[in-house]
Structure 1
Amino acid sequence: MIRWRKGEVVGVGREWTGAVELEVTVHGEAGESEGRVRALAYPALVGRPEVGDTVLLNTTALAMGLGTGGYAMVVAVPDRLPPDPAGPGHLVKARYTPLQATLAGADEQGSPYHEALREADSVDGMPVVVADLHSALPAVLCGLYGGAPAPDGRPRVAYVMTDGGALPAWFSMSCARLRESGWLCGVVTTGQAFGGDVEAVTVHTGLLAARHVLEADVAIVAQGPGNLGTGTRWGFSGVAAGEAVNAAAVLGGRPVASLRVSEGDRRERHVGVSHHSLTAYGRVALARALVAVPELPGEFGARVAEQAAKLADRHDLVSVPVEGLREALAASPVRLSTMGRSLDEDAAYFLAAAAAGRLAASLLS
């Protein structure tokens, strides 16, 4: 279940909102050195480790080569515990795990936003872009800001993070950089996910908070970094994209479905339009959405259009030109990467996400 290790902090590396990188010398079960690893600590959960501290690590995913970004995770600084939390908050996330956290939820009693959200039932036609992977987030934004702008020159965009991938929003360096650069007006963490600017119980209240608390013009819904998939028809966390379409529609939003497209993935089920998108939008989504179909060139573009046509009975397909989007993507304030592939290595993936952003921007005019 968990591979436990103790270690000593020998260096402190990069920091971003909610997270700090460490270099840790790891000791095995018998106390022998196992070398050094990169570790990640969330100071709000475990305190701020310093050089010389003993830290308790979870190295399971690192040892298995899973998608933790190459990190061991700091579970505790046992010899120097952080102070008890102060302030309001009764929303418990990561519930009944050893690291369950109590947070101030936007929609809970005692919140300054409780009255605004208690009877809220609509997002007032707000475009809601739904994507499978976290890596689509900056690409969608590139398309949004390269498209038709809001009257003030730039729409306010909120990221609504679901709990299919990482639970702490702090894990995402992209979120931190996008907020710092003004590309996001805030992050709403929903379900068991936590660490956003606003905490919400469900995707529904997350969308309502994006609209009525963060005053967003557009929301982007996607899971946090990481993606759970088993290679089966239904066993993948991206199924939630279909459920997000339903949530956006029932709240009076305008769902825009971003297709997961790849020309660089070596797995056939993800080449062209991924089976994730075909299942989530073709089987799970019961409400109609606008599906952004990128006008990609050549035989590959024809393949994408043909596969997307399978969704035409349930959704409204919108062909979106991609001229100028490559340049917009190249200007992203954060590094573009999906499954280890860059913009140059899988341009189709990022162009498809940017096309969804371009389509959402057209709904604002």
Structure 2
Amino acid sequence: MIRWRKGEVVAVRREWPGAMELDVTLPEGSCRALAYPPLVGRPEPGDTVLLNTTALAMGLGTGGYAMVVAVPDRLPEDPQGPGHLVKARYTPLQATVLGADEQDSPHHETLREADSVDGMPVVVADLHSALPAILCGLYGSRDGALSGGRPLRVAYVMLDGGALPAWFSMSAARLRELGWLCGVVTTGQAFGGDVEAVTVHTGLLAARHVLSADVAIVTQGPGNLGTGTRWGFSGVSAGEAVNAAAVLGGRPVGALRVSEGDLRERHIGVSHHSLTAYGRVALAPAQVVVPELPGAFGERVREQAAALGARHELVNVPVDGLAKLLEDSPVKLSTMGRGLDRDLAGFLASAAAGRHAASLLA
């Protein structure tokens, strides 16, 4: 199940908050490796590292790194401070974190009886790649401010269907640095956010009451899982997130997964992931955003989305001006290896959801 290798660090290629990309030599050659210093310490050139090379052997795209499991000759110091939530539980790299909702947290009293997000718009999407596109539409529609000039605060609530460490996302780190995100909340088995939470429900409550977010965006971390079956994909969690937002008094906004460039027919137009997650899993009504895309493809998207109208409110949103906002994105836009030029429709659909969320704000 795990392919183990021992290698030597040659160089640090780059790093961002919580993660380092390394060049490592192995007996059979060399590879890129990823280390999370909060878990394994900081590898340096010359260090021997123990690696999990499963992702490399499988040829995974998003996760195509060898993962540093340990720096055995220079172990990090034991962690200090409170924290009793164990995430990645009962795996070799289980980690203890301080949950916003646990008893030792300074936010425990705030969250102990919290039961509402006070009508906060909650934009739900299937893929992590939708996150920056939603933000482009959101900030482009409000110029980054609310009525009265107060800066807009947007939190990313990360589900555990993809990457577990939030540190894996260079996009989230950069968006946090730029102030486009007021914080990252990691829920379920995911960890490494600015705020840790046990469930999507407490994650949304923490976004509202701990981070003071005006809007929350809920997606998986990078690297979703799919099997080509109706139910066997990690994006079913999008429907569950709609339910969580609704039961907490939020205003769920469904971003459709749309593609014109995917080679798989089941994802052309409106992906079967969105049709299943919103049409079957989401039991509470949401406002599902239908982008007003041009031509025959746009008509196809509208016809497919119509199937969701029995349960949800379909909101047609113009896409004029959104392409320019996406071109000016402060982070690279890429979905399943396709950039803006190869799948503009997909990014427009996400940006349209952000535009609609902006219209819900006072």
Normalising to structure 2: TM-score of the pair?
0.98
User: Which of 141, 146, 150 does residue 150 from structure 1 map onto?
Assistant: 146
Aligned counterpart, 1:184: 181
C-alpha contact 1:4 1:56 (8 A) present in aligned 2 = yes
The alpha-carbon deviation at position 107 of structure 1 amounts to 0.5
> Is 1:67 the counterpart of 2:64 in the alignment?
no
Structure 2 gaps, min length 5:
none
Alpha carbons of structure 1 residues 153 and 328: separation in structure 2 relative to 1, 3 Å: farther
- For 1:297-333, what per-residue CA distance to the aligned partner results, in whole angstroms no more than 9, with x for missing partners? 0000000000000000000000000001001111111
> Is 1:216 the counterpart of 2:213 in the alignment?
yes
Aligned counterpart, 1:30: none
Distance in 2, Cα, partners of 1:281 & 1:129: 13
Aligned counterpart, 1:14: 14
Aligned counterpart, 2:99: 105
User: Which of 163, 176, 183 does residue 160 from structure 2 map onto?
Assistant: 163
The alpha-carbon deviation at position 75 of structure 1 amounts to 0.3
Counterpart AA for 2:2: I
C-alpha contact 1:62 1:71 (8 A) present in aligned 2 = yes
Distance in 2, Cα, partners of 1:99 & 1:200: 18
Counterpart AA for 1:5: R
C-alpha contact 1:227 1:237 (8 A) present in aligned 2 = yes
Distance in 2, Cα, partners of 1:137 & 1:36: 33
Aligned counterpart, 1:271: 268
C-alpha contact 1:158 1:216 (8 A) present in aligned 2 = yes
C-alpha contact 2:63 2:223 (8 A) present in aligned 1 = no
Counterpart AA for 1:325: L
Aligned counterpart, 1:2: 2
Aligned counterpart, 1:356: 353
> Is 1:123 the counterpart of 2:117 in the alignment?
yes
> Is 1:330 the counterpart of 2:327 in the alignment?
yes
Alpha carbons of structure 1 residues 172 and 307: separation in structure 2 relative to 1, 3 Å: same
Counterpart AA for 1:113: H
C-alpha contact 2:55 2:63 (8 A) present in aligned 1 = no
Aligned counterpart, 1:193: 190
Aligned counterpart, 2:126: 132
Distance in 1, Cα, partners of 2:150 & 2:315: 24
C-alpha contact 2:3 2:52 (8 A) present in aligned 1 = yes
Distance in 1, Cα, partners of 2:281 & 2:146: 32
The alpha-carbon deviation at position 146 of structure 1 amounts to 1.2
SS at match of 1:219: strand
Distance in 1, Cα, partners of 2:254 & 2:124: 5
- For 1:50-98, what per-residue CA distance to the aligned partner results, in whole angstroms no more than 9, with x for missing partners? 1110000000111110134431000000111000000110010000001
> Is 1:91 the counterpart of 2:88 in the alignment?
no
Distance in 1, Cα, partners of 2:330 & 2:181: 11
Counterpart AA for 2:157: V
Aligned counterpart, 2:36: 42
C-alpha contact 1:62 1:68 (8 A) present in aligned 2 = no
Counterpart AA for 2:326: L
Distance in 2, Cα, partners of 1:345 & 1:179: 27
SS at match of 2:60: coil
Distance in 2, Cα, partners of 1:216 & 1:307: 33
Distance in 2, Cα, partners of 1:310 & 1:338: 25
Distance in 1, Cα, partners of 2:93 & 2:140: 41
Structure 1 gaps, min length 5:
27-32
C-alpha contact 1:139 1:353 (8 A) present in aligned 2 = yes
Distance in 1, Cα, partners of 2:61 & 2:162: 10
- For 1:233-255, what per-residue CA distance to the aligned partner results, in whole angstroms no more than 9, with x for missing partners? 00000000000000000000000
User: Which of 325, 334, 339 does residue 336 from structure 2 map onto?
Assistant: 339
Distance in 1, Cα, partners of 2:35 & 2:210: 29
SS at match of 2:283: coil
C-alpha contact 1:145 1:154 (8 A) present in aligned 2 = no
> Is 1:81 the counterpart of 2:78 in the alignment?
no
SS at match of 1:22: strand
Aligned counterpart, 2:24: 24
Distance in 2, Cα, partners of 1:189 & 1:122: 19
User: Within 5 Å, which residues of 2 pair with 1:189-338?
Assistant: 189-338=186-335
The Cα RMSD (Å) is 0.8
Q: Percent identity?
A: 82
**Divergent runs of 4+, >4 A:** none
Normalising to structure 1: TM-score of the pair?
0.97
